[in-house]
Each structure stands twice: as structure tokens, then as C-alpha cells.
């Protein structure tokens, strides 16, 4: 049984769940940035680089299925 599917469906259907998750991630980001900003900026730069690479290179392997466990 895939445990993540009901959560993904709930987040897609209910905007309150989606916005609460976004707010929680933002709060976690800001609390970690309060301690030290350098690792968070490095993480954001890495994520932006991966995103830009995948957008420019259409032959990059894509993983369409999210398999957590």
C-alpha cells in the first residue's frame, strides 16, 4: 500500500492543507536561516541549478513516480 498517495491527493484537493504545508516549510526555512544563512543559500543555489539543468536538457532522466518507501 502506497502511503503517500492519499496525502498527495489531499494536498491537491484541499487548499488549506497545501497552504499550511507551504507555511510550515517557510517557517522552518526562516528559523534555520536565523541560525546560519550560508547552508540555506547553498541549498537554494543547488536546487536552482538542478532545476535549470533539467529545464535546459530534455534528455535528462526524469523520475515521474514518487516512491518514498
**Per-residue pLDDT tens digits for 7-48:** 778 878 888 888 888 899 889 888 887 888 888 888 889 989
Q: State which residues form the domain around 51.
A: 4-56
Domain membership flag for residue 14: yes
Q: Note the pLDDT of residue 59.
A: 66
Domain membership flag for residue 45: yes
Task: Considering only residues 67 and 24, tell me which one the structure prediction assigns the higher pLDDT.
Answer: 24
Domain membership flag for residue 61: no
Domain membership flag for residue 64: no
The CA distance from 45 to 24, in Å, is 21
Domain membership flag for residue 69: no
Our count of domains for the chain comes to: 1
Domain membership flag for residue 40: yes
If DSSP codes are grouped into helix, strand and coil, which group holds residue 61?
coil
Domain membership flag for residue 38: yes
Quick one: the chain helix, strand, coil %, rounded to 5? 70, 0, 30
Amino acid at each position: 500500500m502506497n502511503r503517500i498517495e492519499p496525502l498527495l491527493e489531499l494536498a491537491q484537493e484541499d487548499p488549506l492543507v497545501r497552504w499550511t504545508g507551504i507555511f510550515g516549510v517557510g517557517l522552518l526555512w526562516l528559523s534555520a536561516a536565523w541560525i546560519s544563512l550560508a547552508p540555506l543559500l547553498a541549498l537554494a543555489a543547488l536546487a536552482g541549478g538542478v532545476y535549470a539543468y533539467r529545464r535546459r536538457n530534455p534528455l535528462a532522466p526524469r523520475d515521474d513516480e514518487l516512491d518514498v518507501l
